[in-house]
């Protein structure tokens, strides 16, 4: 019965050309954090590439672009939110990256340690993002 149910659950994933495992399998924290590490990495790369390419292609220097943003007279809360949105993926990728490097040393690979370090990374991400956006 459970097998039939799970097969049905996975079917809409197949329709979307995704792996049925994405719907059947129970998501775990390490699994979710791993894909977020990749997601933030790709997003940050896109941001850096966008910055680099616009330096080559868009006319006007950096200061003039900043003046343009200043002229919009955005509220401080909006600016804080924007800073937070910029720094959050960077902080997540950085802290989780350190976690990855610790794994590469062969440490912290037991399952409970995975969850502990994962939660630590999430807490550190939020705290450092809040702190950096306030600077």
Partner 1 sequence: MASLWRLSVLCGAQGGRALFLRIPVVRPAHVSAFLQDQPAPGWCRTQHIHLSPNHYSGSKAASLHWTGERVVSVLLLGLIPAAYLNPGSAMDYSLAAALTLHSHWGLGQVVTDYVRGDGLQRAVKAGVLALSALTFAGLCYFNYHDVGICKAVAMLWKL
> Which residue in the block uniquely carries the two structure tokens 């502990």?
116
- Residue 116 within binding range of partner 1, rule CB under 8 A: no
Instruction: Return the percent helix, strand and coil in the chain, to nearest 5.
Output: 80, 0, 20
**Is 78 one of the binding residues for partner 1 (CB under 8 A)?**
no
Q: Which of 17, 26, 77, 104 binds partner 1 (CB under 8 A)?
A: 104
Binding residue for partner 1 (CB under 8 A) from 3, 4, 56, 73? 56
Please choose, from the candidates 54, 62, 49, 132, the residue with its C-alpha nearest in 3D space to the C-alpha of residue 92. 132
CB contact burial 38-48 (16+ within 10 A = b; e otherwise):
eebeeebeeee
Name the residue nearer to partner 1 (CB basis): 96 or 118.
96
Minimum distance of partner 1 from residue 8's CB (angstroms) = 27
Closest distance to partner 1 from the beta carbon of 55 (Å): 4
Q: Which of 45, 81, 113, 116 binds partner 1 (CB under 8 A)?
A: 45
Structure tokens at 48: 């850096």
Residue 65: partners with Cβ closer than 8 Å, 6 or more residues away? 58
In angstroms, give the least distance from the CB of 115 to partner 1. 20
Residues forming the site for partner 1 (CB under 8 A): 38, 41-42, 44-45, 48-49, 51-56, 61-63, 66, 69-70, 79, 83, 94, 97-98, 101, 104-107, 135
């Amino acid at each position: 019965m459970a097998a039939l149910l799970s097969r049905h659950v996975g079917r809409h994933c197949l329709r979307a050309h995704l792996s049925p495992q994405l719907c059947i399998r129970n998501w775990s924290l390490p699994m979710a954090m791993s894909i977020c590490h990749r997601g933030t990495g790709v997003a940050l790369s896109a941001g850096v590439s966008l910055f680099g390419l616009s330096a080559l292609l868009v006319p006007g220097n950096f200061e003039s672009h900043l003046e343009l943003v200043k002229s919009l007279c955005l509220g401080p809360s909006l600016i804080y939110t924007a800073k937070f949105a910029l720094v959050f993926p960077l902080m997540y990728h950085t802290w989780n990256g350190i976690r990855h490097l610790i794994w590469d040393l062969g440490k912290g690979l037991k399952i409970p340690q995975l969850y502990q370090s994962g939660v630590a990374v999430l807490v550190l991400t939020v705290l450092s993002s809040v702190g950096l956006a306030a600077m």
